[in-house]
Structure 1
Amino acid sequence: MTIAARRRARLGAAVLAMAAMALAGCAASSDAAPVPIATTVPPAPTPTATVEPAPEAPQTVPHPLRGTPVPAGGVAGPALSAKIDNHPAARPQVGLERADVVFEELVEGGLTRYVAVWSSDIPDEIGPVRSIRPMDPDIVEPLGGVIAYSGGQQRFVDMMLATSVHNAIHGGADDRFMHRTSGKAAPHNVIVSARELVQAYAQIPAPAPQFAFTSMPLAASAAAYGRSSAGFDLSFSPRQSRQWQWDAGSGRYLRGQNEATDTDSSGAPLSATNVVVVAVDIDWAYGEIPRTVMIGSGAAWIATGGKVLEATWTKPSREAPIQLTNAHGVAIHLAPGATWVELVPTGSGGSVSVR
């Protein structure tokens, strides 16, 4: 081979080598890992818990006649007052143990009768009811509602008709709610269908509060500040005595009449959480029929929780309820529960003895 031929051969080989290297570089470049592209990923939203507001505790208020807690606005319909017989032939009375308030008053012959009031717990039946007396309008007017009775002297009926209270009179327009029971002798046997009567006049407003109450029995004025006492011995006349005995086991006062236990129709003793004794004057302007003087003021004794507290009662008008205050003029608070109000004469054989 000539020198020129050898040079041409070497040059061709070099060109082939360079081409092979170029192809290898291209292959290497195509096999290299791709460069990642940077991206911004928004964070996932954090879920927010939905917090339901805690339900509000139901608002309660004292029952206007009993002081026990009831839902605000939950007392509807009228109070039912009734003139309840207390002659021995009328006992035991019907539904008296379920009354919120009971007023005991002197009537002719030295006997007593009741004005009993139901609102928080109205029985199917109450009674026996008897005729109205001249002090009853002063007792019932502040309560409003309905008054059930069996009639009376027209002058006294007219006095009651002149009040704002609806009169349900035996023999009148509401006689369909009354009947005579065969279980007692007339005239001590007129029974009232109490629940039906109240439902018939459900549009009449609920009663206004009659006393101040505390929500805690031990915080009642007499229980907190009174002196220990077993109860009362009361006299309405030489013929009629009443006893109230504190019973620590039940936390109530048990009632007696003429030294005998006074019972309800089930045979259980009649009882009360509060006993309010009010010393009253008697007006004899109506002959043999005594009229308890309710407009005025005087001495009172409040028994609650096995203690008794001396007080003053005041009733400035027929429309006003009885106000009870202590020696400093501060309102007395009763414990929640049934209250008996004893309207004891200051004369005519009446007396009050604290045990």
Structure 2
Amino acid sequence: MKKWTVILAAFLLLLSGCSAKETVKQPDKEKVVDKGEKNVEEEKENPYFFPLTGIGSEAKTDGRAIAVMVNNDPKARPQSGLHKADIVYELLAEGDVTRFMAVFQSEKPDNIGPVRSSRAYYIELAKGLDAFYVAHGYSEEARKLLESNYVDNINGMVYDGTLFKRSSSRKAPHNSYITYENVLKGAAKKKYSMVKSPPSFTFMSNEESKNITGSDAKSVMISYSRNALSNAVYEYDETLGKYKRFSGGEQTIDLDSKEQILLDNIFIIETAHQVVDEVAHKKIDLKSGGKGYLLQKGKAGEVEWANKNGRIVPMKNGKEVPFVQGKTWVNVVPTNPGLQTSVSFNVK
């Protein structure tokens, strides 16, 4: 049992050991580069950069982002493709279970899923990135948005068994998958352009990332519910300079490759949630702004969040706070009970 020190409210939590049932594939040491070792001159050699990760590239990085709804029910874990997402947004769906919207632009996974149904607030996030939106199913509010072409999209309700395939190893609704190739086929079928890149977030240089300050945040737990179905734990790996993710006491890895989910920015925000019908569909405010935490390089800073032309960004003293170059996970928790109760840090 670890003693959890809670920012703004101290209490004790029991944290189960975090270990994956399946063998975790360790990152290739040659590929895991501490970007802090690169100097500024090396950074300037890359004429291009990916808009959602800030990572430099010698080749052009044009291309539309793809946003895919991914199931996070315990029966859907481990998922496929999340390790290649530039950004993952995690919000509550019905009940106590969260759902992911995984956004891909710099990397293209072979297989993505299990694909799950849409909600209006995820569509708003996809709209802010001008992303091609992929889901299997929808709430009534989401259906109206999709059928009005509010965002370019394909849905498994139309293409089940064609673009979307069912896995025999899992039961519905936890067995719908789509390949990246079929995502592009779907876009071509509906004559959507996939050329335009998403708007870019703000990123710090690798040199600047060496000087991040804040409270020690080697480990953080985010509680979405009392039954812990969707509770997430992030552990900072000093060697890799990245955060590992755990859920239900198991490390979040890719089903197919067994690769770890490794993250550079953990952005946690609180916002108003409202249950709107008898099946517990929610309305989530992603426009008004509010309190947040930003975890980078083992440090946590208190920030505000704002909606900037549809994108959720960290702010402090009226200025946008830059991300560390790399992958980002955004956790959205309800204002009630709020960050003080939902987020706890283990300083170690």
Band of TM-score, shorter chain: 0.7 to 0.9
CA deviation after TM superposition for structure 1 residue 163, in Å: 5.5
Sequence identity (%): 27
The 5 Å alignment of 1:183-194 reads 183-194=169-180
Aligned counterpart in structure 2 of residue 313 of structure 1, from 299, 305, 322: 305
In the alignment, does 2:94 pair up with 1:108? yes
Q: State which of 333, 336, 343 in structure 2 corresponds to 1:344.
A: 333
How many angstroms does 1:158 deviate by?
1.3
SS of residue paired to 2:170:
coil
Map 1:107-186 → 2, pairs under 5 A: 107-162=93-148, 164-172=150-158, 176-186=162-172
- Residues 215 and 60 from structure 1, CA distance in 2 versus in 1: closer, same or farther, beyond 3 angstroms? farther
Q: Distance in 1 between matches of 2:181 and 2:53?
A: 18
Gaps of 5+ in 2: 1-43
Structure exhibiting the larger radius of gyration computed from Cα positions: 1
The one-letter code matched in structure 1 to 2:299 is: K
Greater mean deviation of Cα atoms: 341-350 or 121-130: 341-350
Q: How does 1:50-69 map onto structure 2 within 5 Å?
A: 60-69=47-56
- Choose 114-123 or 194-203, whichever is displaced more: 194-203
In structure 2, C-alpha distance between the alignment counterparts of 1:348 and 1:178, rounded to whole Å: 38
Match of 2:12 in 1: none
Matched ranges for 1:1-355 at <5 A? 60-71=47-58, 74-162=60-148, 164-172=150-158, 176-198=162-184, 200-201=187-188, 203-216=193-206, 219-220=208-209, 224-240=212-228, 241-265=231-255, 266-287=257-278, 288-315=280-307, 319-326=309-316, 328-347=317-336, 351-355=342-346
Residues 210-257 of structure 1, C-alpha deviation per residue, up to 9 Å, x if partnerless?
Answer: 5211231x5139x52323221311111212321111110111101111
Q: Could you tell me how far apart the structure 1 residues matched to 2:51 and 2:148 are?
A: 24
* Residues 188/224 of structure 1: CA separation in 2 closer, same or farther (3 Å cut): same
Task: Please report how far the alpha carbon of residue 277 of structure 1 lies from its aligned counterpart in structure 2 after TM superposition.
Answer: 0.6
Q: Distance in 2 between matches of 1:122 and 1:211?
A: 20
Secondary structure of 1:122's match? coil
How many residues align? The count is 293
- The answer as to whether partners of 2:49 and 2:61 remain within 8 angstroms in 1 is no
Amino acid at match of 2:326: G
Separation in structure 2 between the aligned mates of residue 352 and residue 97 of structure 1, nearest angstrom: 24
Q: Is the 8 A contact 2:108 2:180 kept in 1?
A: yes
Alignment check: 8 A CA contact 2:212 2:296 kept: no
Task: Using structure 1 for the length normalisation, give the TM-score.
Answer: 0.76
Shift of 1:340: 0.3
Q: Which amino acid aligns with 1:111?
A: V
Does the CA contact (< 8 Å) of 1:82 and 1:149 recur in 2?
yes
Counterparts of 1:215 and 1:230, CA distance in 2: 22
